[in-house]
């Protein structure tokens, strides 16, 4: 079993007849999925998703894969294959196409429709190639065969990529629900056929590799929702991912059975469900869906709100309801259902939302106290079954944190994959398939690229550190005007503090230190304002540290007059 080391350098030139696999996201994390395949001087990309920020990344809206390693080669990209339409697989597409708008997008009907609706908001009209399970398309030097897989969104597909170097099978996100809501099963027959023909390298979803057994069927959720709806006395608010068509379908079915109308809340929810309904993936009676404005005209026990915010996202509808920052006001008669599983890292945000909703009296139903969600990712039992069908010669786990990748690797070894043919990589690590053997050969840049409002990439780790300091420690600003002739103080020092906990009277104690430091500088003939600002920063910093044991951001301003 091989794994990367920090000392890895850039990869060597790809030998003729070899295939290079470079994950730019999705390894060691849940999100930002993007993998680049290179053969014969051409590149094929599978997925281009986003990662959602954590508390330690204040002000960040989205985190993108790092395109820097392929930025000079975008003309060599023959296509972007999208396995399904979840944000962690398609969210980065608009930002990639802004760099090169003529890259073809390849995906299923629903996947492309949801991507195109997203791209329309960015004023991008892509070239797209619609495919279905069973189709085989030659995309540059890559022969791509598309295979139906079951997931928590319709129309998900895996892709078998065949080149003269060998066949790679990329599962995308998948599970093996034997009773899916849309009756579209994971195509085990084709996977077995590919396994018999020979899969040289398997890249498999690893998210649930630590979970024993098999994932419960989506159909098991409907009776639970029915019981919750039957007990609810007032409004029912259901939070889910904006692309979870299956869950919205179940909510609509149960709402109709209980005589309730459904209002969609949240821009992405309204957009995605309109697309799904137009294409026939969401089947609801014509009069079931109402506008949010109409809910006040109905009794509260006849209303269901289907909204975004199941992960505690600050600006999503449910978080704003919990914070009393939404037109929908939570009351003691409301029942709130969080119909999704927690993405690792979002626990604190979701718990804050649950506590906020509970504070206003709502009954909150979530996966911890009722089975209102099942995972869209194969558990260990399903992965073992799948590995035995696929019979890969080499294995590389993807889509998971480190513990998930390691657990999937262990499962693959148990099914007969030789230990020295299992590659645990991380983002940026290049894996070359040469003469049927997959080995790590180097590493390219694959850091976080932050989206902050309209800014892409301008936020750095250093600026995030500054934001964390401001949030945790506050800041102290100092203004002083000095004479250009003598260096003596003309005005100030004026000290202002925010988020720091010291009153103005206490801050006065720092002024003599500043005056002394500037007087000493003037006596030594130091007149450069930048040097004077550093003197002020050090003087105030020492005083603050000795007085409070705190380390706020100190912003000195020294001007000459």
Binding residues: 373-377
Check if the beta carbon of residue 32 is closer than 8 Å to that of residue 88. yes
* Residues paired with 548 in a beta bridge: none
- DSSP characters over 361-397: T-EEE-TTTS-----SS-BHHHHHHHHHHH--SSEEE
Estimate to the nearest angstrom the gap between the alpha carbon of 143 and the chain centroid. 29
Cβ neighbours for 199, distance < 8 A, ≥ 6 positions apart: 160, 167, 168, 169, 390, 391, 392, 393
User: Which of helix, strand or coil describes residue 486?
Assistant: coil
Residue pair 306/251 in contact by the 8 Å Cβ criterion: yes
Beta carbons of 232 and 335 less than 8 angstroms apart: yes
Rounded Cα distance between 32 and 24, Å, is: 8
| Angle at CA of residue 84, ends 114 and 452, nearest 5° | 65
3 state SS of 405: helix
Using the CB atoms, write b or e for 177-188: b if 16+ within 10 Å. beebbeebebbb
HEC-encoded secondary structure of 305-345: EEECCCCCCCCCHHHHHHCCCCCCCCCCCCEEEECCCCCCC
Task: Using the structure block, give the residue that is written with the tokens 């603050």.
Answer: 544
Expressed in angstroms, the distance from the first to the final Cα of the chain is: 68
32-57 exposure pattern, b = at least 16 Cβ within 10 A, e = fewer: bbbbbbbbbebbbbbbbbbbbbeeeb
Nearest-angstrom CA–CA distance, 495 and 122: 44
Binding site for substrate, by residue number, is 373-377
């Amino acid at each position: 079993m091989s794994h990367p080391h920090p000392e890895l350098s850039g990869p060597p030139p790809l030998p003729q007849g070899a295939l290079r696999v470079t994950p730019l996201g999705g390894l060691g994390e849940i999100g930002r999925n993007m993998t680049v395949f290179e053969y014969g001087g051409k590149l094929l990309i599978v997925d281009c998703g986003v990662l959602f920020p954590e508390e330690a990344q204040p002000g960040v809206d989205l985190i993108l894969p790092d395109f820097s390693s392929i930025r000079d080669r975008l003309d060599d990209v023959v296509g972007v294959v999208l396995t399904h339409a979840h944000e962690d697989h398609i969210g980065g597409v608009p930002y990639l196409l802004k760099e090169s708008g003529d890259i073809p997008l390849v995906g299923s009907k629903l996947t492309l429709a949801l991507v195109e609706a997203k791209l329309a908001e960015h004023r991008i009209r892509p070239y797209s190639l619609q495919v279905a399970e069973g189709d085989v398309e030659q995309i540059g030097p890559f022969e791509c065969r598309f295979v139906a897989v079951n997931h928590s969104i319709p129309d998900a597909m895996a892709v078998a990529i065949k080149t003269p170097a060998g066949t790679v099978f990329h599962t995308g996100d998948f599970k093996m629900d034997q009773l899916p809501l849309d009756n579209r099963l994971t195509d085990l027959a084709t996977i077995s056929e590919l396994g018999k023909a020979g899969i040289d390298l398997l890249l498999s979803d690893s998210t649930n590799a630590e979970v024993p057994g098999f994932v419960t069927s989506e159909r098991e959720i409907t009776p639970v929702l029915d019981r919750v709806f039957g007990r609810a006395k007032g409004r029912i608010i259901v939070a889910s991912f904006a692309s979870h068509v299956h869950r919205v379908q179940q909510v609509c079915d149960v709402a109709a059975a209980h005589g309730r109308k459904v209002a969609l809340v949240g821009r992405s929810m309204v957009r995605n469900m309109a697309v799904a309904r137009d294409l026939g993936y969401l089947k609801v009676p014509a009069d079931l869906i109402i506008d949010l404005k109409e809910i006040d005209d109905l009794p509260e026990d006849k209303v269901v709100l289907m909204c975004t915010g199941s992960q505690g996202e600050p600006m999503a509808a449910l978080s704003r309801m919990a914070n009393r920052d939404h037109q929908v006001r939570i009351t003691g008669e409301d029942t709130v259902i969080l119909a999704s599983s927690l993405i690792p890292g979002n626990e604190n945000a979701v718990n804050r939302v649950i506590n906020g909703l509970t504070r206003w009296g709502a009954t909150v139903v979530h996966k911890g106290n009722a089975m209102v969600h099942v995972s869209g990712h194969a558990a260990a039992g399903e992965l073992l079954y799948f590995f035995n069908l696929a019979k890969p010669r080499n294995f590389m786990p993807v889509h998971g944190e480190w513990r998930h990748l390691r657990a999937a690797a262990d499962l693959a070894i148990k099914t007969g994959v030789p230990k020295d043919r299992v590659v645990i990589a991380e983002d940026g690590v290049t894996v070359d398939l040469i003469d049927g053997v997959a080995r790590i050969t180097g590493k390219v840049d694959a850091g976080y690229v932050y989206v902050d409002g309209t800014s892409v990439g301008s936020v750095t780790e250093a600026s995030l550190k500054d934001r964390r300091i401001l949030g945790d420690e506050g800041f102290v600003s100092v203004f002083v005007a000095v004479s250009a002739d003598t260096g003596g103080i003309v005005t100030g020092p004026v000290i202002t503090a925010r988020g720091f906990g010291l009153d103005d009277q206490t801050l006065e104690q720092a002024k003599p230190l500043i005056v002394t430091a500037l007087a000493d500088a003037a006596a030594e003939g130091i007149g450069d304002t930048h040097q004077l600002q550093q003197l002020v920063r050090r003087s105030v910093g020492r005083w603050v540290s000795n007085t409070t044991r705190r380390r706020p951001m100190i912003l000195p301003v020294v001007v000459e007059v």
